[in-house]
Amino acid sequence: MLKQLLARFPKRPIQSESFEDPSNDPNSGPPRSNAPKRTSSVVFPSSILAGIEPLLPFKDAPNSEKMSLFISKLSLCCMVFDFSNPSKNTAEKDLKRLTLIELLEFIASGPPRFSEPAIFALCKMCSVNLYRVFPPNYRSLRGNNRVGNQKPENEDDEPSFDPAWPHLQIVYDMLLKFVTSSLVEPKVSKKYINHSFILQMLELFESEDPRERERLKAVMHRIYGKFMVHRPFIRKSISNVFCRFVFESERHNGIAELLEIFGSVITGFALPLKEEHKIFLWRVLIPLHKPKCLGVYFQQLSYCVSQFVEKDPKLASTVIRGLLKYWPITNSQKEVMFLGEIEEICETISMCEFQRVMVPLFWRIGCCINSSHFQVAERALLLWNNDQIFNLIGHNRQVILPIIFPALEMNVQNHWNPSVLNLTLNVISVFTEMDDMLFLVCHAHFLEEQEKQSFETEKRKEAWDRLENAANLQPISGNTTAVLNGPDKNKATSKPASFPFSL
């Protein structure tokens, strides 16, 4: 088998004119086929690769032949093996792994400047090994119990690891070294690390192996940094992934890693922010709070949002309105997350922006204070421990206290949790010390409203009592005649109607 593998490579040196430029190939676009493919052969068209003996060590090759040997060894590594059976092709797998390690060491050692055929051969080898169709996740086919990255309680939470990772890891490291190398000309390599290459890299974020997603994150971040011409396309492509996740499938394994990439991208945005970046915040990042599996990527999402607010503080009110729009009503864990993000935004919000959203914001906070889930109520009441929020509330107490006072009083009267009750009393004492007269006015208004509600409740009860008494005084209806329009229309039956209740 080993001899057959080595026999695939020609023995003549590579000719520069045999290299094919994918930019001139009309078939270089990625066709869509129903048949699953292991490799994207259409990204890199077939060409005659190197012809020097691939098993020759780099140290034994003259400097003039090292790049040809590099291409030849890359060709050797284009052979893909089945790793689902560990006992199959063990010798060939070991040979390929040793060759990959040798290639990685060669790239890291600072070789001569990469030629265009070498760049092409490396990109082709990476595409052959990395681009693949993932098998369907059988766990996602067990009904509708799984949403996004969430799993049913009876499923194992252990991540799935790719058996081919010993080879894939080296390929990723090689690609990362190649992208970051100063010996690679971006003007040449961008022809092969093109839009098709980037799209298929983004598809690999569907991998269930967290190790692969981490390597992908590092490679994609370096590609974004090196190839400025591809930056708008990368941002648009990642936005499309987010939109499909939110509005279509709610299933994707790499949302957290993609958000980490965008977190560093947002940090580099120039001021003033472009309109397209603000649209991305409102139409993509804010809706990402909607899926049920928010907890999987909430930390990365919150960081991206906070970066936007730090870049442009005027966006704080926009973010708060978006959070109120997607506020979870029946998910207590998400409510706690939302309250934490609200606190983080309010730490940097200006007074003017705060006043624009304080009425709907504290109406929602009042609902959280009355939540029967003690963690939600506690998290809402702990907002008063934040000095910045306390200062904002103090300057706008004439508006805020009347909104939340009923929630505070209802907690004092009815809440079951002692910790929530103590925090409520602390907030009440804070408002009393802040503005005693306003507190008394709110308390008096609350008592008046309670009396009105009691009066309205009593009136409704009396009205229902009168209706019930009037119904009981009505006599039971007598006989009723039912006419049957059957075959014999001359026949009619008369039956006394009996009702179990009085009309």
Q: What is the distance between the alpha carbons of residues 249 and 61, in angstroms, rounded to a whole number?
A: 53
Q: Is the pLDDT of residue 16 over 60?
A: no
Q: Nearest Cα to 242, choosing from 289, 303, 311, 292? A: 289
Q: Note whether 293 and 148 are within 8 A (CB).
A: yes
Q: How is residue 6 written in tokens?
A: 């080595």
pLDDT tens, 133-169?
Answer: 877 654 443 333 444 444 444 344 577 888 889 899 9
Of 17-26, 81-90, 125-134, 462-471, the poorest mean pLDDT is in 17-26
Average pLDDT, the chain: 82
Burial string for 135-158 (b: 16+ CB within 10 Å, else e) reads eeeeeeeeeeebebbbbeeeeeee
CA Rg value for the chain: 34
* CATH number given to 312-463: 1.25.10.10
The CA distances from residue 253 to 7, 204, 246, 264, in Å, are 40, 10, 13, 20
Q: Would you state the pLDDT for residue 481?
A: 54
* 34: CB partners within 8 A, 6+ apart: none
Global model pTM greater than 0.85: no
Whether residue 402 is preceded by a cis peptide bond, meaning omega within 30 degrees of 0, is no
Q: Is the pLDDT of residue 269 over 60?
A: yes
Q: Note whether 364 and 327 are within 8 A (CB).
A: yes
Q: Is the pLDDT of residue 500 over 70?
A: no
CB count in 10 Å sphere of residue 389:
18
3-class SS of residue 495:
strand
Confidence band for 479, pLDDT divided at 50, 70 and 90? low
Burial string for 411-449 (b: 16+ CB within 10 Å, else e) reads beeebebeebbebbeebbeebeeeeeebbeebeeebeee
Q: Is the pLDDT of residue 20 over 50?
A: no
pLDDT tens, 305-362?
Answer: 999 999 999 999 999 999 999 999 889 999 999 999 999 999 999 999 999 999 999 9
3-class SS of residue 482:
strand
Q: Note whether 105 and 64 are within 8 A (CB).
A: no
Burial string for 262-273 (b: 16+ CB within 10 Å, else e) reads bbebbeeeeeeb
Instruction: Kindly give the pairing relationship between strand 479-482 and strand 493-496.
Output: antiparallel
In angstroms, the first-to-last Cα distance of the chain is 93
Q: Nearest Cα to 247, choosing from 288, 281, 282, 296? A: 288
Q: Would you state the pLDDT for residue 112?
A: 73
- With helix as H, strand as E and coil as C, how does 210-262 read? HHHHHHHHHHHHHHHHHCHHHHHHHHHHHHHHHHHHHHHHCCCCCHHHHHHHH
Q: Would you state the pLDDT for residue 317?
A: 95
Q: Would you state the pLDDT for residue 284?
A: 95
Spans of all domains in the chain: 312-463
The CA distances from residue 437 to 402, 432, 433, 443, in Å, are 12, 8, 10, 10
DSSP string over 260-272: HHHHHHHHTPPSS
Q: What is the distance between the alpha carbons of residues 406 and 439, in angstroms, rounded to a whole number?
A: 12
Cα dihedral angle (354, 265, 258, 197), rounded to 10 degrees? 150
CB count in 10 Å sphere of residue 53:
14
Q: Note whether 193 and 122 are within 8 A (CB).
A: no
